[in-house]
Chains A and B, each alone.
Chain A
Amino acid sequence: MKKLLLVCAILALTGCANTMTAKVTMTWPSTPPDLQTACPDLGQVDPNTIKLSDALNTVTSNYTQYYICKDRVDNWIDWYNTQQKIYNSVK
């Protein structure tokens, strides 16, 4: 009986040996479709025009295009940093 108790104690210890840790990981979120749009090329002025207003219109549109694209890139950086911070908080 003593031997049996000894074996039981040893087995209880081996059964309780916990070297594992539960690991459930978060999946990295997908990028919002808004940020996946590539920036278009700049607009061109009609080569046959001699009007300054046409050139000004195209340049203004290009400036707009640039700021929209800049905002997208800024948002990309912001999105990545925010998501990385959230992701690292559950590691």
Chain B
Amino acid sequence: MFGWLLEQVLGHLPTWLWPACAGAGVAVYCLAHLLANFPNFKPYAFFIKPVSAVVIIVSVFMYGGAGVTEILQAQIKAQEAKIAVAEQKSSDANALLAQKSSQHTKIIHDVQVVYKERIKEVEKKIDADCKVDPEAISILNGAAKNPLGVKK
């Protein structure tokens, strides 16, 4: 939870803030160095110097980290753009395939209709000329049966 909160806060801070903080830290450090020459301000300078040093160190570190974050975010954006293009390509390929599939199915059905019509045309003639032995039907049905059993 704390990590997430920290990430949210740090992630939304602008990058320029860190060199600005580092610059301010350097300025305060130099000022404290000057103040140390005045006896009245010496105790303050003693306190301000380490604090400004810590500010400088943390700011410089965070500036480096912010740079890395920017690089990573740019990489993520580039990758996301590539993925969006790929997803569009994938969707287009699916649409093309669906269209091709429906065309093929229509052609196959149309051919079937033609052959069924041809059977109808000669139905009477072939049925009169040829009586099929039930044994032949049994063999045909047996061959058409799924050898792997009935599908569930």
Residues of chain A at the chain B interface (Cβ within 8 Å): 1, 4, 7-8, 11-18, 20-26, 29, 32, 34, 38, 40-53, 55-64, 67-68, 71-72, 75, 78-79, 82-83, 86-87, 89-90
Contact = CB atoms under 8 A, between A and B. Distances in A.
Given A11-B64, A44-B141, A71-B101, 6 more contacts: A11-B61, A15-B67, A18-B68, A45-B140, A55-B140, A82-B97
Given A8-B56, A50-B132, A75-B100, A83 B123 contact: no
Interface residues of B, number: 62
A57 B104 contact: no
Contacts of B133: 50
B10 interface: no
A12 B109 contact: no
Given A11-B61, A43-B144, A22 B72 contact: yes
Contacts of B120: 53
B86 A87 contact: yes
B9 interface: no
Contacts of B83: 24-26, 90
A53 to B, nearest CB: 4
A13 B63 CA distance: 10
20 contacts: A7-B57, A17-B64, A18-B71, A24-B80, A32-B98, A34-B98, A34-B101, A41-B144, A43-B144, A45-B140, A50-B132, A50-B133, A52-B127, A52-B130, A53-B123, A53-B127, A56-B126, A68-B105, A78-B97, A87-B90
